Structure 1
Amino acid sequence: MRLEIYLPFRIFADETGVSRIVAETREGSFGLLPRRRDCVAALVPGILTYESEAGGEVFVAVDEGVLVKIGNHVHVAVRRASCGTDLGGLRDAVLRDYLTLDELEQGARAAALALESGFVGRFARFHAD
């Protein structure tokens, strides 16, 4: 398989000869082999593992994103990613950097929720009249 991992402003990885991929979703981990049916999956922050002929087993800490498998191509688009050989260190990075929202992001999400709530309320009142 060919695995491409995209970040918002660059290609993080482009690997060929990938024999298996393991990714994490809200429902748990799942694996991809070359003959698996095409699929789409929403990824949660966690460890994406893949094995290639050239590099052996590789661990990538990924933020939330999406995985799309079409034929022998697997496309992964995530907000952030980091690669390493220390699985414990990568897991710590996921917990520290990807699962903890910073104050600015928490404020932006709260503001968006307030705007959405206000819009829905006004929309409902408008259509009730």
Structure 2
Amino acid sequence: MHLRILLPFELFAEVTGVTRIVAETHDGSFGLLPNRLDCVAALAPGILTWQTPADGEGFAAVDVGTLTKVGREVVVTVRRALQGRDLASLRTTVDQEFLALDQTEHQVRTVMAKLETGFARRFMQMQS
């Protein structure tokens, strides 16, 4: 298989000759082999694993995104990704960075919602 990992503004990784891919979704992890039927999956923050005969296993910590398999082409599109050889350190990175950023984004969304509500309330008062 041919694996491409895409970030919003760049190609993060491109790997050819992939024999196996394991990805994490919100319902658990699943594997892809070259002859699997075409599919699309929503990815959860976690570790994406692939294997090639030449290089062995490769790992990338990925944020939420999608995985699309069409024929032998597999495209993973995510917001953020980090690549590494050590699985334990990547798992720690996912827990610390991606999940912490998700909490920060949630706090920002909460503040924005309060600002929008306040703006709408003041606008309605001006109309009265």
- Shorter-chain TM-score range: 0.7 to 0.9
Name 1:88's counterpart in structure 2: 88
Structure 1 stretches of 4+ with a deviation exceeding 6 A read: none
For normalisation by structure 2, the TM-score amounts to: 0.82
Instruction: Give runs of aligned pairs for residues 1-129 of structure 1, distance below 5 A.
Output: 1-101=1-101, 105-110=105-110
**CA RMSD after TM alignment:** 2.1
Task: Summarize the Cα distance change of 1:67–1:112 in structure 2 as closer, same or farther, 3 Å threshold.
Answer: farther
Task: Summarize the Cα distance change of 1:71–1:99 in structure 2 as closer, same or farther, 3 Å threshold.
Answer: same
Task: Summarize the Cα distance change of 1:33–1:102 in structure 2 as closer, same or farther, 3 Å threshold.
Answer: closer
Structure 2, unpaired ranges of 5+: 117-128
Structure 1, unpaired ranges of 5+: 116-129
User: Number of residues paired by the alignment?
Assistant: 117
Task: Summarize the Cα distance change of 1:109–1:37 in structure 2 as closer, same or farther, 3 Å threshold.
Answer: same
Of all paired residues, the percent bearing the same amino acid is 56
Q: Determine which structure has more spread, i.e. the larger CA radius of gyration.
A: 2
2-side partners of 1:54 and 1:68: how far apart? Answer: 24
2-side partners of 1:17 and 1:8: how far apart? Answer: 24
